Amino acid sequence: MGLLLGDIAPNFEAETTEGNIKFHDWIGDDWVVFFSHPADYTPVCTTELGYTAKLKDEFAKRGAKAIALSVDPIADHHGWVKDIEETQGVKMNFPIIADTDRSVSELYTMIHPNADPKVTVRAVYIIDPNKKIRATFTYPPSAGRNFNEVLRLIDSLQLTDGYKVATPVNWEDGQDVIVVPSISDEDADKLFPKGYTKIKPYLRTTPQPDK
């Protein structure tokens, strides 16, 4: 069985494009987007890493940062970074792990042998400052990920950590949210001074509490 939501993200030491790290020390007090890509010098990955670099300020607003991984050696990573910067019009600003012995990939179940035994799939782990895995998703090597969805997911996690709400389908920051079913109407009256709309006993919406 792979890693599950709520598990502590396994610690490891690794060589990266920004020097050697101990993962838990590197996380510090931040949220982390830890994602794998199949290989260096590949077109989809080039666009993904370039776009992620462009999101640095958006990550920073959320107290978050990114780190990537593939099984290619560090020399390839450094060479590829130049291509990313040239083709995507961005300065790379987050580390890429060189997992040549596949130890981290196997720890995080990033290699799916039935898909491709030689490369990592497009796995994503959202890890909170307590080092807990809060969300995961996995794409095949052929499909690029939507990193705007990663930001939306972090927004939802941070909001729902602070308030007794859930976020509905296609929710975006600033939109109405759902009062969790475990809260009684009496308690909801106290917790949500902006009021709420009772569509069904189990479906109550309220304006986003922190806006």
Write out the catalytic residue numbers.
45
Phi then psi dihedrals of residue 20, to 5 deg: -75, 145
Residue 99: phi, psi to the nearest 5?
A: -100, 60
Handedness of CA 40, 32, 118, 75 (dihedral sign): positive
Phi, psi dihedrals of residue 32, rounded to the nearest 5°: -130, 135
Q: Decide if 70 contacts 169 (C-beta within 8 A).
A: no
Residue 38's SS3 state is coil
Instruction: List Cβ neighbours of 19 (8 Å cut-off, separation of 6 or more).
Output: 95
